Amino acid sequence: MSGLSKMIADFFVRENVIEHEEYEIYKYGSDILIENIGTTIFLICLGFIFNKEISTLIFIAVFAGIRRYSGGYHAKTKLKCYILTITNWAVVIVLQRLQQKFGFTRFGIELIICCMVFMVMFFFAPVENPGKPLFERVRIVNKRKTLIITLMVIIISLSIRIKLPDASFAILVVLIEVALLIIWGKELPVYFKE
């Protein structure tokens, strides 16, 4: 991947899109973008293989949409990040299949879970990355965006639960995962983190 990101950054310098001093930043950014695109394509392929295309798209949209602003636990290596993302996706698919088989969700439980998720977002988000602290203004904006997106996702999940119970359940599981990653990123003592 770094070869392609190097080519992109070289192209930007050669075409005077960026200054040479910005080379490393753009190389790093290109590398992250390529990895994210690769992970997204891989998840979509898994969704097709397991006949869970809608659940996969829900996972990608909700997970990435909220985590972009909320932060949360970040793995120290690309491989661990990749494994954690795939594991989170797999948990959604497995729990969704179990829910389809046993039908164990109830509106009251879903409402309590949604309230708990929102409280986690309210009290803990955004979680700063130790290598990239947030300015106070950015922290406030990210918190506001996290809360708005989370509230919108909760409303969508609860409003479609009768007609689209599988989609609603997938959203609920992803919300729980994001909340857990926020708690994990915020609260674990250093000796528990890799």
What is the per-residue pLDDT across 43-68, written as a single tens digit (0 to 9) for each? 999 999 999 999 999 999 999 999 98
Residues 39 and 115 in one domain: no
Note down the domain range covering 8: 1-49
Residue type, 162: I
- The pair phi, psi for residue 129, each rounded to 5°, is -80, 130
Q: What are the tens digits of pLDDT across the range 69-98?
A: 898 888 888 888 889 999 999 999 998 888
Residues 62 and 42 in one domain: no
pTM, entire model: 0.80
Cβ atoms of 185 and 177 closer than 8 Å: no
Residues 131 and 74 in one domain: yes
Q: What are the tens digits of pLDDT across the range 168-186?
A: 989 999 999 999 999 988 7
Residues 32 and 60 in one domain: no
Among residues 166, 159, 176, the alpha carbon closest in space to that of 47 is found at 166
Residues 24 and 68 in one domain: no
**Average pLDDT score over residue span 110-132:** 86
**Range of weakest confidence among 99-113, 152-166, 170-184:** 99-113
The last residue of a domain, from among 10, 28, 49: 49
Cα separations in angstroms, 7 against 24, 39, 51:
12, 20, 36
Sign of CA dihedral 140, 141, 145, 146: negative
Percent of the chain scored above 90 by pLDDT?
A: 42
Residue 28: per-residue pLDDT: 82
Contacts of 174 (CB under 8 A, 6+ apart): 58, 59, 62, 63, 88, 92
Residues 44 and 72 in one domain: no
Domain count within the chain? 2
- The pair phi, psi for residue 126, each rounded to 5°, is -85, 150
Band of pLDDT at residue 106, cut at 50, 70 and 90: confident
Residues 17 and 108 in one domain: no
Residues 23 and 102 in one domain: no
**Average pLDDT score over residue span 32-45:** 91
Residues 44 and 61 in one domain: no
Residue-averaged pLDDT of the chain: 86
Which range, 29-38, 98-107, 115-124, 161-170, is most confident? 115-124
Residue 100: per-residue pLDDT: 80
